[in-house]
Chain A
């Protein structure tokens, strides 16, 4: 009898502990419900939205990805204590995230999750790490190297990555040049004939997601004529790759007889392309003029600011003001935001420098409504005041600059800043 009650008590005790554990487990496995900071983390947001600064001073935070339980991985542009990837969680559920793990001894920009793997890029290689059921990296010290030997010039060196649903990974290989000139950014320096850069850079390459040690010979030049792409995303509505190009600089400093400083500040457009295999977007031979709504022949290749570029090149599907530096693109598939946001595009504009001596532009996140892969309206500012300034003359004045975008499992939007290393979470708060 006595023994029986003791056993029973033990049993009850176990049950209780079990229930408690599973309760805690369940809750640590769900993203913390969104709650904005009282000042919306200093941001100016579209009506009905709020923001929470979930982390700060973590390093030069570039691209970001959120796991299905709301944990985040962030790629760092410069190593912090020798590590280039951060794993953050909000274990105490106070809305603020803490770094749980730092790994990967390479700096870089690209990071994403697909089918049980975390993918991350240095400027020359792409790695992947197997994830467990909670999307935690199983062995942070032993990634598989899937792509190696990519060209990384001193400029446009970063590798942004995205995967489709058929086990391909798309990698931006930026051109180590402004406009393929004999003397890069030089005065009236002509473009190199048949721009040789395009053989191995200035485009998007497609590789297998699961094959080790691939090099150029294993990849496919998926699209070319793209100066440098940092923001790219796979649109699941029409199964198509979309990219944001960083347009060319220095029109007036290289071609003062053809362009005024003001024209140079406003040309060319920063553009979004929808890419099909084999597309050529025209860099360095053309650029897109958002006032004439035309592709214009680049001055390096005989243009005068008016002559149209070749029709063989594709047209952009959205044109934004010049030099704003689109560093991330994300198609929104969540359910938290109002219906009109669904399947639309968010773009993080890092902010311009090449508008000097005119004032700078960008430093915000914009939204473009989309349906079935086509824009259905004009772009609009979605989140602003990352810079903390009413007006920016020089980039150093900006306290924060948006760089990476990711969607949380609850549909909230995460934005990184690569100046100070702040991470913002934006949610819809209107009831």
Chain B
């Protein structure tokens, strides 16, 4: 039961934070500050990530990990960018569970797309963290 409530809160939280974000973008856009790319990031997420990580970012029990408040999403940004560019296939543990599937590299996405989708993920599903810029992605890609 606790888990269901938690999941429900998470979903509500994510929807709320999403709509909050959209509002923020609009106000920021008005004040002529460069608009963060969260809205575009959502489109990238739906097309390239949702099939595995799901609409609620909750992942799939035992197969694909959740993206809410994980150390990978919120922690080292270089590692996070590399997960998208090169894929990920390690015995990782999140909330006491492990995940069987591998994540393929999505290096075909542009620097802008990667920055957008990670900015979206880092500010959805209960996450609140800084945006990722295309320049950061470019630097990590160049590093190899």
The residues of A with any CB-CB pair to B shorter than 8 Å are 77-78, 153-157, 183-187, 189, 250, 252-254, 261, 264, 353-354, 356-357, 393-397, 399, 401, 419
The stretch from B21-29, B100-108, B129-137 touching chain A is B100-108
Which residues of B, 6-62, contact A by the 8 Å Cβ criterion? 7, 46, 48, 50-52, 54-56, 58-62
> Are B56's CB and A393's CB within 8 A?
yes
Residue on B with the closest CB to A186? B104
1/0 per residue, CB under 8 A from A, across B86-110: the answer is 0101010000010011111110100
Residue on B with the closest CB to A397? B7
B64 adjacent to chain A (CB < 8 Å): yes
Residue on A with the closest CB to B91? A154
How many residues on chain B are close to A (CB under 8 Å)? 30
User: Within the assembled complex, what's the spacing in Å between the Cα atoms of A154 and B108?
Assistant: 25
Contacts beyond the supplied A264-B51, A396-B59, A396-B66: 9 A-B pairs with Cβ under 8 Å? A154-B101, A154-B102, A183-B104, A253-B51, A353-B60, A356-B51, A357-B46, A393-B54, A397-B56
User: Within the assembled complex, what's the spacing in Å between the Cα atoms of A181 and B93?
Assistant: 25
Question: Given the known A-B contacts A157-B100, A183-B104, A186-B87, are A396 and B64 also in contact in the complex, defined by CB atoms under 8 Å?
Answer: no
Question: Given the known A-B contacts A154-B91, A353-B54, A396-B54, are A77 and B62 also in contact in the complex, defined by CB atoms under 8 Å?
Answer: yes
Question: Given the known A-B contacts A186-B87, A396-B7, A396-B56, are A357 and B101 also in contact in the complex, defined by CB atoms under 8 Å?
Answer: no
Residue on A with the closest CB to B106? A187
User: Within the assembled complex, what's the spacing in Å between the Cα atoms of A77 and B96?
Assistant: 13
User: Within the assembled complex, what's the spacing in Å between the Cα atoms of A156 and B63?
Assistant: 10
Contacts of B108 in A (CB 8 A): 187
Contacts of A157 in B (CB 8 A): 100
Contacts of B55 in A (CB 8 A): 356-357, 393-394
Mind listing 30 A-B residue pairs with CB under 8 Å?
A: A78-B97, A153-B100, A154-B89, A154-B91, A154-B100, A154-B101, A155-B101, A156-B100, A157-B100, A184-B104, A185-B102, A185-B103, A186-B104, A186-B105, A187-B108, A252-B51, A254-B104, A261-B51, A353-B63, A356-B50, A356-B51, A356-B52, A356-B54, A357-B50, A393-B55, A394-B58, A396-B59, A397-B56, A401-B61, A419-B61
Contacts of B64 in A (CB 8 A): 353
User: Within the assembled complex, what's the spacing in Å between the Cα atoms of A185 and B104?
Assistant: 6
Question: Given the known A-B contacts A183-B87, A357-B55, are A395 and B102 also in contact in the complex, defined by CB atoms under 8 Å?
Answer: no
Contacts of B60 in A (CB 8 A): 353, 395-396
Residue on B with the closest CB to A352? B60
Contacts of B51 in A (CB 8 A): 250, 252-253, 261, 264, 354, 356-357
Residue on A with the closest CB to B59? A396
> Are B100's CB and A187's CB within 8 A?
no
A239 shortest CB reach to chain B, Å: 34
Contacts of A357 in B (CB 8 A): 46, 50-51, 55
B103 shortest CB reach to chain A, Å: 8
User: Within the assembled complex, what's the spacing in Å between the Cα atoms of A155 and B101?
Assistant: 5
User: Within the assembled complex, what's the spacing in Å between the Cα atoms of A399 and B56?
Assistant: 15
User: Within the assembled complex, what's the spacing in Å between the Cα atoms of A396 and B64?
Assistant: 11
Closest 5 pairs (CB-CB, A-B): A396-B58, A186-B104, A394-B54, A155-B100, A353-B60
